[in-house]
Chains A and B, each alone.
Chain A
Amino acid sequence: MVFVVWWVITFFFTVCFLVFLRERKSMRSIPEPFEEKPLVSIIVPAFNEEKGIADTIESLLKINYPRELLEVIVVNDGSRDRTAEIVQGYADRGLIKFINNSRNQGKAESLNQGFRESAGKYVACIDADTVVEPNIILKTINYFRQPDTAAVMVRVQVMEPKNWLERIISVEYSLGLGFYPKLISSLNSLYLTPGQFSIYRRNVVLELGGFDRASIVEDTEIAYRMQKAKWKIACCLSASAYTRVPDNIRDFYYQRKRWYSGTIQTIIQHRDVFFNRSLGNFGMFFMPVNYGGIILGLMLFLSTIYLLFSNLESFLSRMILVGFDVTPLVVKYIHDFSPDPFKVSLFLMLGITPFLMNMVGSYIGLKTVGERVRENLFGYVSFLFFFIPYQILWLLCFYFVIFRKKIKWRALM
């Protein structure tokens, strides 16, 4: 079991490393621009977003793209706060198009409505708590010169990370919504179009029937359908969107509960992609190895937890026997301490290598996307150990999905 898990995880890292070696020079390059700039629409679905919607709209209005070729559509999804009032102010000045729904229909339907109302050949979707860099459209639009590219994602960064959790998530986003998607896109295996910011070929989304209203991770679900329809999803590492992230454990838990449970539901819904040779790397490599690795890793994690608890039980019973007096043991241990290199077991070596690979891979990834590791050393080191809460969350989400617990969208507090 340990050998199988080790092999799968190491194999995945090795593939990523080989892809990195192959693509390292073109990681941040951008395709040649269009000779004639196309019309682009940007959809902002908003539900109770009074805190961030103005910043989002302002950043869209500062986008470096001809105004007459840029259409901004805000879809209010039955907000109960001041969102509609704020957006109406921009609409009244003729800066944006406003679709004001009094009833909440969900994010997917808001996006679909925006798509139907849009005129652009390419349509970007952006979360209402996210801002973008001014050149984002100029950088991403060029990827559509490839006729089989259906969507382009960008690097998602954390907006002004301050507390410990934001700093850890900042590292996670740099890798998980930046470096690794770029590598995976080189294998035509991108499995998501992040809701924070992604740009789509409008006709492809409409042909695929739009976003799935039943899905709680509509941005991932549509990526699976694009893969199944043999469309490509690109990743532009040189363009960034900046988003707000949970700054407390409670919000983090609810966010991940939705993400992971939604991912599991989507995988079950599209289980026919596994080992589907017609889907190339996506069906034959990414899906089986990535999610197989997660499942095997969870099994290993569970057995480790079991072992830890057994050891804890044995430790406690020993401590009870000596009346919790550890002084003689500690004194003797310190007095007789001599490192013995032969006390390195095979399991320790097998356990430590994926950790080291993750450490090196994360460092290379952060450097590649332009992060200074020293400036967020805390985030980097903590992220290496954050696999523990991630594993616990995955386990919980498997439980939620198997026992059909209801998972809803929940805005950040």
Chain B
Amino acid sequence: MAGVDVNLYVKAAVITTLLMLSIYSLNLFLSEKREEAVSEKMNEIVDDIEEIESTYYLMDYIAIEEQNYTCDSLVGILNHLESGLWDLDSRIKAYRDMTKDIANDEFYIREKEKLNRRQIIHLSMLEKIKKQCNYNQTVILYFYGLCDINLKCDEQGFVLSYINDKIDPEISIFSFDADREVYSMKALMEYYNVTELPCIVVEGHTHCGLHDKDQVEQLLCNYSKKLSICNSTVM
């Protein structure tokens, strides 16, 4: 009977398994690092929000002639916060995709909820500052949900990213994951009468359903004529 090289195969099986375990451990290590990076970014955002809040309260306290100074300062922090929120949002999405189907993504769900709450604080502050500081920033609220099934959400997100990339920093986009149990967000959805997903609210006007680039640009120009794209868009 021909021999089977058992010794060789055992060695190879051990090496292969060790290699697999190494890759798996490396992935666990990276997962940990990903979570750390998200938490770190979240902490930065909390600091920014605290900074905005304290500046806002300061504005109430100081004399009216000094308000221009605080307005400039607030707008600066708001812009910084906005880019931080945008970055964190895309990071949470990308990292969640990395771990999807392998690790429990409870962490990302929790962080997404936190992010939604912080977006609402940001939105409230922005609306207050718009009035108080005569700050002309066009605001888009974007509500999405069930994106694993509802591909329109992903597609609407893509169109809004396109618009944001095209005319940033003229607009502020706030995206809300409607699947998360965040009561303030649910209240916001009720306030704006969000009946289906995806749904966008441009300067307080609700438009549900999927909108392509031209339709979104048209909506923006209808409600905010000062935008640079409105010069070339059909009105």
Residues of A within 8 A of B (CB): 3, 6-7, 10-11, 14-15, 18-19, 187-188, 230, 277-285, 314, 317-318, 320-323, 325, 328-329, 331-332, 340-346, 349-350, 353
Contact = CB atoms under 8 A, between A and B. Distances in A.
A188 B166 CA distance: 65
B94 interface: yes
A332 B165 contact: yes
A344 B30 contact: yes
Contact of A278 (B2, B16, B23, B102): B2
Interface of B: 1-5, 8-9, 11-13, 15-17, 19-20, 23-24, 26-27, 30, 33-34, 37, 94-95, 97-99, 102, 151, 154-155, 158-159, 161-162, 165-166, 168, 210, 212-214
A22 B166 CA distance: 61
Contacts of A230: 2
Contact of A325 (B1, B3, B213): B213
A343 B96 CA distance: 10
B166 A321 contact: no
A401 B24 CA distance: 39
Nearest to B34: A342
B16 A280 contact: no
A343 B98 contact: yes
A345 B2 contact: no
A278 B15 contact: no
Nearest to B26: A349
Contacts of A341: 30
A279 B1 CA distance: 7
Contacts of B212: 320-323
A353 B154 CA distance: 31
Contacts of A353: 19, 23
A47 B24 CA distance: 55
Contacts of B8: 15, 18-19, 187
Contact of A318 (B5, B12, B15, B155): B155
Contacts of B161: 329
A222 B166 CA distance: 67
B95 A342 contact: yes
B100 to A, nearest CB: 9
Closest 5 CB pairs of A and B: A280-B2, A332-B165, A328-B166, A328-B165, A14-B12
Contacts of A7: 16-17, 20
B149 to A, nearest CB: 13
B1 A331 contact: no
Contact of A15 (B12, B26, B34, B37): B12
Contact of A11 (B12, B97, B158): B12
Given A285-B9, A343-B94, A321 B159 contact: yes
A10 B16 contact: yes
Given A15-B12, A277-B1, A321-B155, 12 more contacts: A7-B17, A10-B16, A11-B13, A187-B5, A230-B2, A279-B2, A281-B2, A284-B4, A321-B212, A340-B94, A344-B98, A345-B27
Nearest to A227: B2
A325 B166 CA distance: 11
B151 to A, nearest CB: 7
A121 B162 CA distance: 77
B4 A281 contact: yes
A350 B23 contact: yes
Given A342-B30, A342-B95, A349-B27, A282 B13 contact: no
B2 A188 contact: yes
Contacts of B34: 342
Given A328-B165, A353-B19, A317 B155 contact: yes
A322 B17 CA distance: 47
A350 to B, nearest CB: 6
Contacts of A343: 94-95, 98
A11 B18 CA distance: 11
Contacts of A281: 2-5
- Residue of B13, B19, B102 with most chain A CB atoms under a 10 A cut-off: B19
Contacts of B2: 188, 230, 278-283
